[in-house]
């Protein structure tokens, strides 16, 4: 896939509806601030679902407990709304209210948590062997949450492990491509660091819009 094209389309979408996407991510931003306060504001680079991004003292979930988990939930809730936006299945109003949409379906809510936690467990187990196999698996599992949500929304729910398996199959032959796309945002995350997080109000939705577009392209939905 053409990285430049993906990022251009994401930037156009964000520019046209910046207010919507900003308010959509407000709960996530709040939880990230609480996460930062919990960890005394120290930042480092770590890998979550196979990506390099700015987090706090390592794994967002394991290092911060409840705040980290809630931040993950709000992050995925925002991205599920982005999925609907790319598919023209939602309007661009009431972003803050829509950020809580994940809670409207218990299956999606608990399934999202289940897929995320199981992915982390599997990646951690692979890490006991070597970093590289764990990294490869992290990339393989990166689409599992979206696959799970789509199946549930389409009326054909699948299990947590099946979603992970389908993600692994979908990413076959695309892991290096996925990694390079994620890595292309590393400069933006340095900007987030030097602006003390302020730039995240642009970088976070921009990154999510791009990666969701990538997922749709993998499914031939673009």
Tell me: the pLDDT tens digits for 93-102? Answer: 999 999 999 9
pLDDT band at 136 (very low <50, low <70, confident <90, very high): confident
79 with 51: CB under 8 angstroms? Answer: no
Closest by Cα among 84, 64, 65, 110 to 24: 84
Output the pTM of the full model.
Answer: 0.86
91 with 106: CB under 8 angstroms? Answer: no
147 with 215: CB under 8 angstroms? Answer: no
**Distance from C-alpha of 121 to C-alpha of 108, rounded to nearest angstrom:** 20
Which pLDDT belongs to residue 41? 47
Q: Over range 199-222, report the average pLDDT.
A: 89
Q: Is the pLDDT of residue 49 over 70?
A: no
Q: Is the pLDDT of residue 109 over 60?
A: yes
**Distance from C-alpha of 186 to C-alpha of 38, rounded to nearest angstrom:** 24
Q: Over range 1-30, report the average pLDDT.
A: 93
Q: Is 209 exposed, middle or buried (0-12, 13-18, 19+ CB in 10 A)?
A: buried
pLDDT band at 85 (very low <50, low <70, confident <90, very high): very high
Backbone φ and ψ of 170, nearest 5°: -65, -35
User: Which residues, 6+ apart, have CB-to-CB distance to 42 below 8 Å?
Assistant: 56, 57
Which pLDDT belongs to residue 40? 55
């Amino acid at each position: 896939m053409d990285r430049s094209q993906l990022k251009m389309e994401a930037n156009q979408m964000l520019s046209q509806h910046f207010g919507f996407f900003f308010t959509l991510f407000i709960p996530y931003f709040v939880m990230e601030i609480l996460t930062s306060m919990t960890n005394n504001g120290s930042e480092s680079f770590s890998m979550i679902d196979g990506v390099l991004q700015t987090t706090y003292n390592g794994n967002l979930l394991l290092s911060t407990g409840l705040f980290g988990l809630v931040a993950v939930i709000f992050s995925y809730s925002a991205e599920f709304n982005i999925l609907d936006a790319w598919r023209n299945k939602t309007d661009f109003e009431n972003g803050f209210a829509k950020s809580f949409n994940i809670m409207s379906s218990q299956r999606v809510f608990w399934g999202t948590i289940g897929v995320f936690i199981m992915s982390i467990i599997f990646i951690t187990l692979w890490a006991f062997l070597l970093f590289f196999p764990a990294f490869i698996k992290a990339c393989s599992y990166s689409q599992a949450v979206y696959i799970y949500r789509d199946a549930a929304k389409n009326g054909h729910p699948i299990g947590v492990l099946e979603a992970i398996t389908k993600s692994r199959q979908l990413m076959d032959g695309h892991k290096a491509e996925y990694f390079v796309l994620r890595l292309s945002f590393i400069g933006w995350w340095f900007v987030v660091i030097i602006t003390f997080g302020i730039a995240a109000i642009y970088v976070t939705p921009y990154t999510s819009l791009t990666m969701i577009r990538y997922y749709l392209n993998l499914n031939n939905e673009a």
